A and B are shown apart, each in its own frame.
Chain A
Amino acid sequence: ETGVTQTPRHLVMGMTNKKSLKCEQHLGHNAMYWYKQSAKKPLELMFVYNFKEQTENNSVPSRFSPECPNSSHLFLHLHTLQPEDSALYLCASSQMGEKLFFGSGTQLSVL
């Protein structure tokens, strides 16, 4: 596989569920990101990992928990989400911050 692979593509979960989003990049990049995209709103940066160290956490609620075991893999653990958390969640990678490559995204619905 090439590029940035993100799973699952779609996820429906209840507010009491625990689920995880997975992202893998095959580009040899040093940085990985989680973004949230809601309808008609700008992309919201959630987390940044640079060489698997977290460098940004933009006041994201603790019900979102990132994990970056190595430079190629990134997870977003979800628990006790709220309906307003329903959105498209995008993983991206880059080499030294230039040119983001995005995964296909996870469309999340919280019931």
Chain B
Amino acid sequence: QKEVEQNSGPLSVPEGAIASLNCTYSDRGSQSFFWYRQYSGKSPELIMSIYSNGDKEDGRFTAQLNKASQYVSLLIRDSQPSDSATYLCAVNIAADSNYQLIWGAGTKLIIKP
């Protein structure tokens, strides 16, 4: 069974600090990795995608991928109360099928003012 694991949280981080969210996946053949943010009562929205080992930065967000250890993480610098949401990790398990994402259950992040 192909799985994506996330700590459900809640993860509480003070405003201005770095929030670190982690995700592990079971399929070594996974090719693409995504972080979605879901505010309470809203639908998920893509905030980061990463395809190769290393770091990818976009504003206050950094995605980190380590295929050897099968984990992907999301760092949020200078955390703001507006970052409070559930963060979903999604993994594309097949290189020839871009339509099959496996999802984690999400980590709830709370930024305390």
Contacts and interface: CB of A to CB of B under 8 A. Distances in A.
A-B interaction: yes
Given A42-B103, A99-B49, 8 more contacts: A41-B105, A42-B4, A42-B102, A50-B99, A56-B99, A98-B98, A102-B43, A103-B43
Q: Is the interface of A mostly helix, strand, loop or mixed?
A: strand
Contacts of B106: 42
Contacts of A99: 46, 49
Contacts of A98: 49, 98
A102 B105 contact: no
Interface residues of A, number: 22
Contacts, number: 47
Q: Is the interface of B mostly helix, strand, loop or mixed?
A: strand
Contacts of A104: 42-43
Contact of B100 (A43, A56, A102, A103): A56
A67 to B, nearest CB: 18
Interface string A46-71: 00101000011000000000000000
Q: Which of A43, A55, A103, A105 has the most CB of B within 10 A?
A: A43
Interface in B62-112: 88, 90, 92, 97-106
Query: Closest 6 interchain pairs by CB?
Result: A97-B98, A102-B43, A42-B103, A43-B103, A42-B105, A97-B99
A12 interface: no
Contacts of A55: 99
B46 A100 contact: yes
